[in-house]
Amino acid sequence: MYKTVVTPRFGDIDGLRHVNNTVLAIWFEQARNPIFRMFTPDLDLSYENWKLIMVRTEFDFLSEMYYGEDVEIRTYILKIGNSSFTMGHEAWQNGKLRVKGEAVLVHFDFIEKKSVPIPDSIRSQLNEHLMIEDACKIFDDNK
């Protein structure tokens, strides 16, 4: 599991004084960088070097988050397929789970416009961060 700490900016807050729901997509994307580096170590965004495409993302907003308190983003792998994998994301503030989400990414050849199998070397790295959602809850309950 990777952990990334984000400090909410004033501009991340909406009229209700909560962290705006649109901000989570940006924070979760930032927290994906260690996984992106497995596929593209230098994060070169050139068309021929980038190896991933996102095909689905979802969020469950469980509780409000506020300005003035850091947010810990936890990122892990939920499932690994032949050419795709599902990432789990959680946003924690003040020791409470506030938002959880998932993203499905596909190992993709942008030149050929098709998915390609995840190489074994990367698959083994992804496996190091493989967790099931219940295990994440157990992990937090046993702190």
Neighbours of 12 (CB within 10 A): 19
pLDDT exceeds cutoff 50 at 98:
yes
What is the amino acid identity at position 82? N
pLDDT at 103: 96
Confidence band for 133, pLDDT divided at 50, 70 and 90: low
How does the average pLDDT of the chain come out, rounded? 89
pLDDT exceeds cutoff 70 at 66:
yes
Q: 93 near 66, Cβ under 8 Å?
A: yes
The mean per-residue pLDDT over the stretch 48-69 comes to: 92
**Could you give the 3-state DSSP secondary structure of residue 103?**
strand
Provide the domain limits for residue 129: 2-141
What is the number of structural domains in the chain?
A: 1
Which CATH number is 44's domain given? 3.10.129.10
The mean per-residue pLDDT over the stretch 119-125 comes to: 95
What percent of the chain has a predicted confidence (pLDDT) above 70?
Answer: 92
pLDDT at 65: 95
Q: How far apart are CA 50 and CA 72, in angstroms?
A: 27
